[in-house]
Amino acid sequence: MSLSFAQKLGITAVVLGCSTRKELCARFRALNPATEFDLERSFKWLQGKSLPRSMTVYEDWARLLGTGRGGTWLAGCSVEAFSEEVCALFQADAREVQARTAAFLGEKAATGDALVGDFVCYSWAWSPFHQGLLIRGEMALRPAAQGKVGAVYSEQLDGHLGVFRGSGTRAGRTLQLTLSGAEGEHMAQSLLVSGRPSDCFCGLSQGFTVAGTMEEVSVCRIVGMRLPEGGTVEGLAYLPHRADAVAADLAACGYAAGITDALAAAVMRFLDGGGAPHPLKVLGEDLTEVARALALARSEGARG
């Protein structure tokens, strides 16, 4: 999933003079009556919850904008490069386009919270049927009303997708989330957040175990790292309690080959509590280690 794709679609709507999703869809349909850019799909795309599966959407997009760069470039380019290209094509002012795009996407123009984005998360499985296994989940963080942070946490469990939605309050380097599932399940997460850009967080996740013979109160450590550009989270959530399994999962999420081992090692040290006598107490040092590992991995990836 990619927030940048939603931002690029927002910019497209602005330069084309569309004030609603329906108008944007109509422009695609006028270009290609068989386009896969429809109202239902566009809702998820503009929320940053999914990406088009078909390359034809990107090709229609390129033709609609009149760019010669093609659909492949549109799919992979940064928001900054896209804005520069489109503003040049339509002779638009970049600052005005940025402000109007924020309004189109339902965000405040001044919102600059570096915490917004999509994160891959790792924690311990709560179910007694999966004791000793790790859970890989995904966290989508978005701006919300009254200065709060909207959150959607999901896990691909056996046979179904578990989704928890809610919001939270950020205070300095802390984030407190209150989430609920479709059937009334509850989850709370108390997180420490890295500095700008907020590329990772770690903390505690607490709730009720429902995948068992009876409900139990459960709490465990959880760590999240921002997905790389174009990265996605797919497949079953359960992972073996091994660094190589986490490394392979990080690679499947889009992290560059050769840097996943160090990231996985940092994840495992955090989840295991680093040998601390109170593993359910998360310290600033815990966050620092994960943040350093992520920064080093991205630095090495950029060199590669």
- In tens digits, the chain (304 residues) has pLDDT values of 456 788 899 899 988 888 888 889 988 999 899 998 888 888 878 877 778 888 899 999 999 999 888 888 988 888 888 999 999 988 888 888 887 887 787 654 333 456 778 899 999 988 888 888 999 999 988 877 666 788 899 988 776 788 899 988 888 889 999 998 877 788 999 999 987 667 899 999 998 876 656 677 889 999 999 988 778 888 888 999 999 999 999 999 989 878 899 999 999 999 998 655 556 778 788 888 888 888 877 666 555 5
Alpha carbon distance 77, 233 (integer Å)? 20
* 3-class secondary structure, 287: helix
Domain boundary among 44, 74, 104: 104
Residues 6+ apart with CB under 8 A from 110: none
Residue-level pLDDT at 113: 52
* The two structure tokens encoding residue 135: 């859970």
Angle between helices 39-46 and 21-31 (to 10 degrees): 120
**Residues 132 and 250 both lie in one domain:** yes
Does residue 73 sit within a domain? yes
Residue-level pLDDT at 149: 84
Structural domain harbouring 61: 3-104
**Residues 151 and 281 both lie in one domain:** yes
Residue entry with tokens 């174009």: 230
Does residue 111 sit within a domain? no
**Residues 173 and 241 both lie in one domain:** yes
**Residues 126 and 80 both lie in one domain:** no
**Residues 95 and 135 both lie in one domain:** no
**Residues 40 and 161 both lie in one domain:** no
State how far the alpha carbon of 136 is from the alpha carbons of 88, 117, 142, 167, 233, in Å.
42, 17, 20, 20, 9
Q: Is-contact 161 149, C-beta < 8 A? A: no
Does residue 112 sit within a domain? no
**Exposure on the CB side of residue 130, measured as CA atoms within 13 A:** 20
**Residues 185 and 298 both lie in one domain:** yes
Domain boundary among 80, 104, 128: 104
Q: What is the CATH number of the domain that holds 156?
A: 2.40.128.120
Residue-level pLDDT at 302: 52
Alpha carbon distance 203, 201 (integer Å)? 7
Alpha carbon distance 27, 13 (integer Å)? 9
Does residue 110 sit within a domain? no
**Residues 21 and 155 both lie in one domain:** no
**Residues 59 and 169 both lie in one domain:** no
Does residue 93 sit within a domain? yes
Does residue 280 sit within a domain? yes
Total number of domains constituting the chain: 2
φ/ψ of 209, rounded to 5, equals: -75, 120
Mark 140-177 as b/e (b = at least 16 C-beta within 10 Å): bbbbeeeeebbbbbbbbbeeeebbbebbbebeeeebeb
**Residues 21 and 129 both lie in one domain:** no
Domain boundary among 53, 73, 104: 104
* 3-class secondary structure, 132: coil
**Residues 129 and 38 both lie in one domain:** no
**Residues 136 and 61 both lie in one domain:** no
Does residue 173 sit within a domain? yes
Does residue 82 sit within a domain? yes
